[in-house]
Amino acid sequence: MFYKQASRFLPAVMLMTCWAFGQCANTPASRRVVVRAGHILDVKTGNMLSGQAIVIEGDKIVSVGPAADAKLSPATQTIDLPNATVLPGLIDAHTHLTFDPANLGYEGLGISYPREALIGARNARVTLEAGFTTVRNVGAGGYSDVALRDAINAGDVPGPRMLVSGPAMGITGGHCDDNLLAPQFHATELGVADGVDAVRHKVRENIKYGADLIKICATGGVMSKGDDPNASQYTREEMKAIVEEAHRLGRKVAAHAHGAEGVSWASDAGVDSIEHGHLMDDSSIATLKKNGTYIVPTLYLMDWNRENLGKRNAPDYVVRKMQTVSAVGQDTLKKAFAAGVKVAFGTDAAVYPHGLNAHEFAVYVRLGMSPLQAIQTATIHGADLLGWSSKIGTLEAGKWADLIAVDGDPLKDVTTLQQVKFVMKGGEVVKNEYGK
């Protein structure tokens, strides 16, 4: 009887193990691949190394060194990229893969959770092909991002590695609530929770249903109706309870926050990252620096929306708030960069079309970063924020074989990252415009 019961539970245990480590079906067994690169960018030092070879077995890198030292055998697959620059796969710490920019305002009410997950499957492929092999998805309806992550891990659909939050947590009537329907519908988003006891319960519920991290709304937002991006939402006590519960259960916390008060409260509560921060003041920037809290800037969306928001038939409340935030947001983050606040790359892709993620780099450079510093936000710093520094972020032995290749030198022109020609995830080529 014991063996029969064990045999029933074994597949579930194996699947849970796959989820925990981020990759399951379709992982290569012992296949050996050697990628011979004209140049490899060491994102830690900024050194550009010539004539290098990356040796891969299964889904992991086993060595990186001079091409002449790479041992080849008849069974070894070789990939030659003699004129390309190879970098680690990029990391976007703020995406919404299951959302689409066409579904603004009331348009979004007609999207079911299953449809949202399928929209995510399309956007996951586009994002991966743009060179982003890992993303943090911070907010989705009905745990559709959990379903998408699991489908990618099972090999059902192509996409980046995903850490997901499920429904973002927020107060009644706040940025993460649903304020578009009339009162008789009693519409409330799944992530809404008010009061210390309720937010503790909601953290546990999100984790129960598959969340890798917790996303909260500490201030009002831009794309929501009836709230103010400057106004704080969760209280200090509520945020401290959320962070304490999440960290105790091994999850990090990302806080949507625009206004200065909400940024400072969230940072002091111990959140791991502030998302946006577009309306910060000098005091809240200093708080981030003091506490070592990451900022995830999401800045290119302002450039894109200046050119395109009027063409999208966006609701008036979205247009007004976007204009307010865009007027000061980039200058605010320029101050944060200069102050030495820790920065991890993030885009808010879904506010604008997925696949344009790499346009964010040029904004960081325009605001004072060197190209290398900008690239580091999407490699070593992104990996640190996600807690995956031992797995991604650099091209080193023991890490997942996630890498991209571009023409030219991104240290001279960071916009070359907008045209990724080669993408490998876990030792599998998912895009190759160079041929064999």
Question: What digits encode the pLDDT tens for the residues 361-392?
Answer: 999 999 999 999 999 999 999 999 999 999 99
Say whether pLDDT at 4 is over 50: no
Strand order, beta sheet including 77-88:
60-66, 48-57, 32-41, 77-88, 403-407, 422-425, 428-432
Indicate whether this model's pTM tops 0.85. Answer: yes
Cβ pair 223, 318 in contact under 8 A = yes
Question: What digits encode the pLDDT tens for the residues 49-76?
Answer: 999 999 999 999 999 999 988 888 888 8
Strand order, beta sheet including 294-296:
213-217, 252-259, 273-279, 294-296
Q: Which domains does the chain have, with CATH numbers?
A: 32-89+395-432 (2.30.40.10), 90-386 (3.20.20.140)
- Catalytic residues, which ones? 215, 348
Say how many Å lie between the first and final Cα of the chain, rounded. Answer: 53
Question: What digits encode the pLDDT tens for the residues 309-365?
Answer: 777 778 888 889 999 999 999 999 999 999 999 999 999 999 999 999 999 999 999
CA distance 159 to 150: 11
Backbone angles phi, psi at 418, to 5 degrees: -80, -10
Position of tokens 């606040």?
341
Element (H, E) at 204: helix 196-208
DSSP class of 253: E
Q: Which ranges in 224-315 belong to alpha helices (H)?
A: 236-248, 260-269, 282-291, 300-308
Cβ pair 59, 28 in contact under 8 A = yes
